[in-house]
Chain A
Amino acid sequence: MKRVYVQEQWCLACHLCEYACAFANSGQKDMSKALKGVKINPRIRIEERDNISFAVNCRHCEEPLCQKSCISGAISVKDGVVHIDQDKCVGCYTCVLACPYGAIMPADGGHVMQKCELCTANGGEPACVAACPNRAIVFEER
């Protein structure tokens, strides 16, 4: 299955992936309208320290502990993509406690969880990868 993979030696910590993610998941058509003055809450996050940086998003684990731990049955796997049904989610945060990568976080408001779903709801190719200027994240089979 294609996943977003990190090539950390190429990451510039430019955070464009975070902006592209926030925009892609905003449901808006205009980027400046979607993001201007907004504190973004992207599903991919850059970690940076000294001169190391890299992006972290859901790994779409083959044995997803978040899904197996979800107390409400809100997390499912469809064609390998781990998906959260925000309508069923009650925001108990058990998935946050279970995810070894720290890749699940509350959506705005904190009442339900969100995570990278590889832009399956946004028309296909992950927006973060398309926005990365340096191929520090790629979408491929490995």
Chain B
Amino acid sequence: MKYVIIGNSAGAIGCIEGIRRHDKAGHIVLISAEPYHTYSRPLISYLLLGATDEQRMKYRPDDFYQQNGVETILGVAVSKIDAAKKQLKLSDGHTVKYDKLLAATGSTPFVPPTKGLEKAANAFTFMTLDDAKALDAVLTPTSRVLVVGAGLIGLKCVEGILHKVQSVTVVDLADRVLSSILNEKGAAIMQQYLAAKGVNFIMGDCVAEFGKNTARLQNSGQKLEFDALVMAVGVRPNTQLLADAGAETDRGVLVDEHCQTSLPDVYAAGDCTQGYDMAAGEKRILALLPNAYLQGECAGANMAGAEKEFTTGLAMNSIGFWGRHIMTAGVYEGKALEETDGDNYKCLFVKDNRLVGFIIIGDVARAGIYTALIREQKPLDEVDFELIKTHPQLMAFSRRERAQMLAGAKEEEA
């Protein structure tokens, strides 16, 4: 059996570990455009922050490929998938055959076409280790940095660089920061916190035109000067390869509960996919690392002939800025149960006797107990909801369920 994996990040690694649980012998070939040992993409901001280094941010140990019998082809892109012949064409002209294929090609920063962007000096996106290194190389203590996009990636970049530069200004068309994961109240708390750290925000506006070191804003007409520019408005799934090969795509590559695409023997995982989101009840793009790993692991198991389903895909974000943490999960539908002391904020979303989502800022202790309520679609009348609402805790479960959780009781005997 010959397995071929495109990509070298969370989805790919999950796949290797999924395959090796069931097939210790099959030949695995991993092909990735980036020339590096597998590294943790989200850690590029921590690298600039000084909280990690290139060695420590490796996603798996140095001997990972060797231990798992993986042949790597790094720094080479796959340019075509021929699903009928079951072979790939590589950018260096080689062809590679496969029996089972995983595409974990991730996503690409979306850069909105803007007048004059090609003139802008020191313009970067913030997606890869090379992006981070290139940005870092131009930053000086007198740099004024303009970040376009107040989402997860833009603001993590800000956290990584603020201490190195003179100023950081963030512009976003949305009326609030982190608009993909926070509601108005949560966003207001975070924006105020980040502003107090020294970040300048211009919300509800976008850049109409760039000059070499200038950006003219659309709505206010204001002209900003910058020495470095980071474009971080969002990411788009890398679907081209699979779409060209004939796989069904929507916004992402469509995968089923086995993480298989519509093509025989072709699987996909991670940011490039659109798989089932159990909280939303439909297929969605979940461009998050845990999802990439779990999809890859599921695909790998199935590629190796086991029967595994991944049906608990769910948006779940844990993001922190200078020690202040936000956790969110699920969808923001149904009844919103809010609680705040001005600093800490919590909102639980309850619908049809189930917890379907939450936003927590500040006191995030044990929030995984809430995530599990969503993941397991636990009927809330089976727990002491008044109790668990105040703090996530196992006390809110029945003695029987606790025995399963903590005393190793099997479901039938408990």
Contact = CB atoms under 8 A, between A and B. Distances in A.
Interface residues of A, number: 39
Q: Which 5 A-B pairs have the closest CB atoms?
A: A102-B366, A142-B408, A100-B372, A69-B290, A99-B368
Interface string B377-414: 00000000001000011110001001101111000000
B297 interface: yes
Q: How large, as a class, is the contact surface on chain B?
A: 35 or more
Contact of A5 (B58, B365, B368, B407): B407
Given A5-B406, A5-B408, 19 more contacts: A6-B406, A8-B407, A68-B14, A69-B316, A72-B56, A73-B59, A91-B51, A91-B320, A92-B318, A93-B327, A97-B318, A97-B329, A97-B371, A99-B366, A101-B394, A102-B365, A102-B392, A102-B393, A105-B365
B364 interface: yes
29 contacts: A5-B406, A5-B407, A5-B408, A8-B403, A8-B406, A47-B393, A52-B399, A56-B394, A65-B368, A68-B14, A71-B40, A71-B43, A71-B289, A72-B59, A73-B60, A92-B319, A92-B320, A93-B318, A93-B327, A97-B316, A97-B368, A98-B368, A99-B366, A101-B368, A102-B367, A102-B392, A102-B393, A104-B368, A110-B323
B52 interface: yes
Nearest to A99: B368
B46 interface: yes
B185 interface: no
Given A88-B56, A102-B366, A69 B289 contact: yes
A39 interface: no
A23 interface: no
Contacts of A95: 368
B406 A97 contact: no
Contacts of A3: 408
Given A6-B406, A49-B395, A102-B394, A96 B364 contact: yes
A102 B294 CA distance: 20
Interface string B306-336: 0000000000111110010101010000000
Interface in A47-72: 47-49, 52, 54-56, 59, 65, 68-69, 71-72
Most chain B beta-carbon neighbours within 10 Å: one of A88, A97, A98, A100: A97
Interface of A: 3, 5-8, 47-49, 52, 54-56, 59, 65, 68-69, 71-73, 87-88, 90-102, 104-105, 110-111, 142
Nearest to A47: B395
A93 B317 CA distance: 9
Interface string B354-378: 0000000000111111011001000
Provide the main secondary structure of the chain B interface.
mixed
A96 B60 contact: no
A106 B317 CA distance: 17
Contacts of A52: 395, 399
Most chain B beta-carbon neighbours within 10 Å: one of A49, A56, A96, A142: A96
A7 B409 CA distance: 11
A38 B289 CA distance: 37
Contacts of B318: 92-94, 96-97
Contact of A73 (B40, B325, B371): B40
Contacts of B367: 96-97, 102
A59 B294 CA distance: 20
A79 to B, nearest CB: 15
Contact of A96 (B40, B366, B394, B406): B366
B210 interface: no
Contacts of B38: 73
Contacts of B399: 8, 52
B329 to A, nearest CB: 7
B365 A6 contact: no
A52 B399 CA distance: 10
